[in-house]
Amino acid sequence: MERLQKIIAESGVTSRRKAEDLIKEGKVTVNGRVATLGEKASISDEIIVNGKRLAKEDKEYYLLNKPRGVICSKEDKEGRKLITDCIATDKRIYPVGRLDYDTTGAIILTNDGELTNILEHPRNSIERIYYVKVCGLVTKEEKLMLERGIIIDGHKAKAFNVKVKKYDKDSNKSYVRLTLKEGKNHEVKNMFMAIKHPVDKLKREVFAGLTINDLKSGDYRKLTIKEVKRLYALKKED
Ligand code: URA
């Protein structure tokens, strides 16, 4: 549910200010009833402005293989490339969660707020699989520490299926694959920093079962209806 004037403005009919005036003038109805300023509605309500029905916004769902050097934000004061610039659409889509500026890999972008809430909510334990290159040799004990959980800012960050895939002696770097089930910002970097292995490179290979194997860096594809339905089904009832 959002403020009516916001829904009207976002549908492109008029500005938010003019939408407020129209509501005050009684020229907006919601489900057949004259609307009042301040009320909330949903895009699925029947909203009529000046006699014209607002079109329901079509939902779009994309899986992007995020390249390095792109920021997951609505705007950037430093003028860096935004994640939404990676996708050619006229819809107001947003990323589900965030990847850091220098992190690559799987990220969903959509204008479906309900699905975004499902995928971002920790209760739903959405799986994120990362492949990470870190400084130093990650030992068995440290692998266990990651799996038992590490307290970061008073919160226990826990990794699953931690596998040290290789250790390169010459560069003194370890390559680790691990799964996380929450979406805390900088979680992987903070976890490895806590065990004194700063992250050198980070890639998210899988998000909610969607892999970027078939996508080159910067490429994207639309999700199928079947995939969207599967993502909705990840919601756990409380
Ligand atoms: N964890 C991080 O530290 N960075 C990301 O981009 C994603 C998860």
143-185 residue pLDDT tens: 999 999 999 999 999 999 999 999 999 999 999 999 999 989 9
Atom nearest to 100 CA in ligand 1: 6
Mutate which of 70, 71, 99 to test ligand 1's pocket (most atoms within 8 Å of Cβ)? 99
Torsion, CA 194, CA 103, CA 143, CA 149, rounded to 10: 60
Mean pLDDT of 17-34: 95
Q: Is 214 a catalytic residue?
A: no
Could you tell me which residues come within 8 angstroms of residue 25 by beta carbon, excluding any fewer than 6 positions away? Answer: none
Surface-to-core class of residue 137, CB atoms within 10 Å of its CB (0-12 exposed, 13-18 middle, 19+ buried): middle
Does ligand 1 come within 6 angstroms of the Cβ of 186? yes
Catalytic residue among 45, 76, 100, 102: 100
pLDDT classification of 15: cutoffs 50, 70, 90:
confident
Does ligand 1 come within 6 angstroms of the Cβ of 100? yes
pLDDT classification of 114: cutoffs 50, 70, 90:
confident
pTM of the model: 0.82
Residue 56 has pLDDT above 80, yes or no: no
What's the CA gap between 223 and 228, in Å, rounded?
7
Q: What is the pLDDT of residues 57-107, one digit of tens each?
A: 789 999 999 999 999 998 899 999 999 999 999 888 999 999 999 999 999
